[in-house]
Structure 1
Amino acid sequence: MPLYMSLLVEHSLSPSMIRGQGYDGASNMRGEVNGLKTLIMNDTPRAYYIHCFAHQLQLILVAVAKKNDTCGWLFEIFANLLNVIGVSCKRRDMLRQSQAQHVAQALEVGEIDSGTGLNQELGLKRPGDTRWGSHFKCLLNIINLFPSIVDILVYIGKHGSSENKFKAQIVLCSLESFDFIFMAHLMLTILGYTNDLCVALQRKEQDIVNAMGLVNSTKNVLQKMREQGWETLLHKVTSFSTKHKVEVPSMDALYVPQGRSRRFVEQATNLHHFRVGIFFGSD
């Protein structure tokens, strides 16, 4: 008797009564040869398979985002950053120490509040395309750890081995650019809305009618952001850049890409590039 069948029998569940099955799309679950979906449907053909709503949304969002050149550039920086800092226990310890120092300084001048659950230790973990919320959490931590990350990259860029030294300098050059900060805040806002949707979709009591309503609500929020959120986003990006001593370009000046050739971008003003080309996504 197959293992999954034994488990059903153990809990007094009859396979003949199965009408539906739902989980993520991993090969060991939905595989056409030996996946759990196939094994169950061989015995119970009427058991419809439903791909987890939240998992589907995660895969779609990541796939669509990576097809966009600017988003792909952002994710590539994430990967390079994690390769420089995340692969070493020593560097992760340095990041924690730097974070603690910045938190202490912020508390001293009253920039942040203290209390239960606040100012938790953060880290950098590699996001996964099948783990919902991992890209959102990674991006959120990078924004919150920005000054500490810069400290570590500067240290590696000065005192690391030859290979790591140049990698750190290249990553730091991209991080300390208005392009990166703009894209990071834009994606953080978008992924924040979709993350709320996913949390709702993963509730056990969720039904398809309510799920579609939640999807429509999220689409409306994103559309409203697209129509009315430019000034708010630009203010956040400008404030963050000024705080961390990153040059804010004049919106009337011609756009000069950071870390990429001008051959791959349209010749336009900064305002047109960031607002029309990226925020509205017309290109």
Structure 2
Amino acid sequence: MLLKHGLSMSMIRGQGYDGASNMKGEINGLKTLILAENSSAYYIHCFAHQLQLALVAVAENHKEVGDFFTTANSVTSLVAGSCKRADMVRDSQTRKLAEAIAANEQETGQGLNQEMSLKRPGDTRWGSYYGALLNFEHLFSTIINVLERIEDDPTTEPKTASHAWRMLITIQDFRFVFILKLMIELLAITNELSLALQRRDQDIVNAMKLVRVGKTRLQEMRDRGWESLLEDVILFCTKESVHVLGMDDEYVLPGRSRRKAPQITNLHHYQVELYYSVLDMQLQELDNRFDEVNTRLLTCMASLSPENEFVAFDREKLVSLT
């Protein structure tokens, strides 16, 4: 293609593709093949897509988080999998709202109390997971009610009733609620960053600042957010009649006897092995995908922007770029 149009490989100064391995692969990817011919053809991956991949990496590499998303998707498919069950969700939601308004526990007014529904997020669009988990949290008691109706309905197939019973046990558990709250708080930060990076009018320098701000907010969450998250989880569990674990009690591995469980407390497991571990993995992924070389490269290149009569021109940055 380059030869056809009379273009020289030596003049390429940048390349960018999607996340497929045959494009960005380190061994035989197109990026690598071109870099072998011309080391100045720097590869820059779409920032918004890199952010999505960083989120995917956490779900794939942390078994408890991965299991959580599998369960949440399974519940969503079961509860919202037919018109009959969707009507159950709607009826249950309407009844609970009416009870809350009658008890003066719910504000009323224009634009408030809009109908919500469970939605299955897109597998490759991790920004959609934030909205899906918010709805899951808001409809938690409704989901429990619908699962109970599915299990008790004599017309339900035995296999489906058994599946509903297992889902009831799984989601009415402290671990599930803890990860639900943790991922909502984490995705709230990354969702803002994702939306900002997808703006068509976003400039390079501001995009780099947004990435740094996102990392800083995640680090602050890691350093100072544990107490508030735990308090939020306990309040939610109390409201939804989910058993609250004692943080000083011995941690018991799900599905295993006490004899085989490691001698650690619930506090250690949930704070160190879950909270710190997930946030550290997220921060490490962001550091890996938004590395210092690309950050400096893009910041220096912004000096060549002709906008506003080259207001961003910076000779020192151009020397560094060279």
Distance 1:178 1:220, change over 3 A: same
User: How many angstroms apart in 2 are the aligned matches of 1:22 and 1:97?
Assistant: 49
Question: Match for residue 140 of structure 2?
Answer: 146
Match of residue 209 from structure 1? 205
Asked whether the equivalents of residues 85 and 91 of structure 1 are also in contact (C-alpha less than 8 Å), the reply is: yes
Aligned residue number for residue 64 of structure 2: 70
CA contact (8 A) 1:132 1:198 kept: no
CA distance in 1, matches of 2:257, 2:191: 34
Counterpart-to-counterpart distance in 2, 1:185 and 1:120: 22
2:196 equivalent in structure 1: 200
Assess if the C-alpha contact under 8 Å between 1:182 and 1:237 holds in 2. yes
**Match of residue 245 from structure 2:** 249
CA gap 1:115/1:185 in 2 versus in 1, 3 angstroms: same
Q: Percent identity?
A: 48
The offset of 1:84, in angstroms, is 1.4
SS in 1 for 2:106: coil
Alignment CA distance shift 1:81-1:204 (3 Å): same
When normalised by structure 1's length, the TM-score is: 0.79
Question: CA offsets, 1:19-69, max 9 Å, x none?
Answer: 989786589xx79xxxxx9xxxxxxxxx99864322221122122222101
Following superposition, the deviation at residue 72 of structure 1 comes to 0.8
Q: After superposition, give the CA deviation of every residue in 1:50-101 in whole Å (9 maximum; x if it has no partner).
A: 6432222112212222210110110111122123112211101111111111
Which deviates more, 110-119 or 138-147? 110-119
What letter corresponds to residue 186 of structure 1 in structure 2? L
- Higher mean alpha-carbon deviation, 164-173 vs 75-84, is at 75-84
- Which residue is equivalent to 2:296? none
**Distance change in 2, residues 1:153/1:137 (3 Å):** same
Residue 227 of structure 2: aligned partner: 231
- 1:169 has 2:165 as partner: yes
TM-score (norm 2): 0.70
Q: How does 1:151-162 map to 2 (within 5 A)?
A: 151-159=145-153, 160-162=156-158
Structure 1 gap ranges (5+): 1-18, 32-36, 38-46
Give the alignment of 1:1-283 within 5 angstroms. 51-159=45-153, 160-258=156-254, 260-261=255-256, 266-281=262-277
Give the Å deviation of 1:256: 2.4
Tell me the distance in 2 between the aligned counterparts of 1:170 and 1:251: 25
TM-aligned CA deviation for residue 129 of structure 1? 2.9
Give the number of aligned pairs: 254
For structure 2, the residue ranges without an aligned partner over 5 or more in a row are 1-12, 25-29, 31-40, 282-322
Q: Which moved more, 1:134-143 or 1:96-105?
A: 96-105
- Aligned mates of 2:116, 2:57 — CA distance in 1: 27
Native 8 Å contact 1:58 1:129 kept in 2: no
- How far did residue 155 of structure 1 move? 0.8
